[in-house]
A and B are shown apart, each in its own frame.
Chain A
């Protein structure tokens, strides 16, 4: 039972961090609970479908279907996260002013919410598919299935707890730093996911250039440990990154920064006297 608990928790932990961050980022936007729940639900349903078709997906693209699928949905999440940051750079100031004035952020909040709901859905789907496959396999084969299944459920619950802890922890950031802090977190989240997508593309033999491992810090912090996994999700830490992973990581951060600068509204003219 303990083994199942640990295995499920490890998978759900990463999704929990991401959902917690998204919840904190959208804390003042009305209806965000609906959108985020929708993302989670979509992710769970998607995970069941993916688990069901795991064999079919795997066989596609000369046996690399699973890797390409993972790379594709991670890529989608990267685009959505970057879009959110660019959108906030463009509208963030108006949004904050509007909210202070009217206490509401109707149409303004919604368009970014869709992108974040997709991010949540992708995170839940990625981890969820593995959890579904794992738990279903246990049920199908073990005679002591009940105990193991219970362990899995507890693992799920602990993952949800991670989400709550992340959310409430982030809420402690004072309002004036919130925009910068969350933009930074989202940028690193995107860079980390882009790096993960690259690893899958390399596995699929699609992007093999610069594939040599640049450094090995597994002695310092293994990315399988809890802290390592947290850093892996939050900033894209990898204890054995390939050259291409580093390039794409930096490029994603640079692209986010540049795009945010490009799309930020022009500074207002000097005050009228």
Chain B
């Protein structure tokens, strides 16, 4: 084979392999979504949303777990978002030239990828042990710690995208800096910052590991934030690992519910981001 043909053949092989790699990634995505639909759709009955988790062999649904997930995710987002936005503001607006800003940025990026189960251990140590019992508060705080780095990162990025001219125009009118940030910069970046919050919600909605040692689980419907609370991920974990077919069916139903909520949040967040002009 001539040198030219050999080079062309190598080229075709490499490009085919890269095509195959992409195909493989997409195939796995569709296989996962497909099996979720195939196993989850039969479990999607009205009972799923109206009845509490059953004992094995009994009729029941996931109502208490859905309630717990929604409440804890909401509380975690409410706690984590302001903290994240304010520290993101520091990095974008006040951090220039300080030694603190690069350090915070560095640590924040590590927290972004830190194992979530370790966050669960941390909250167990500082809250569950002190209070003497598992509680929905502890679960919410653990999730809030996961929200913070996501929101810090996106707020800083989005605030940096606001054109300097907008701030300078406001300063030229004699506006104090905090008013410039709150009334001009935040308004210009609000869509992007909402994207960050949505991505954070999508991230914590399916988190299981940090809840195992904090909110634990609850067989019964409970609205007490100071007591253990059922939540979808932990119920899915418990039911899927059980030998009971009806529990496993509920686990698939819950899995379908959680995945599609998260995918919709993700896709919506991306659309919001591209409308606001920020690509990525």
Do chains A and B interact in one complex? no
Task: Please report B residues at the A interface, Cβ cutoff 8 Å.
Answer: none
Task: Please report A residues at the B interface, Cβ cutoff 8 Å.
Answer: none
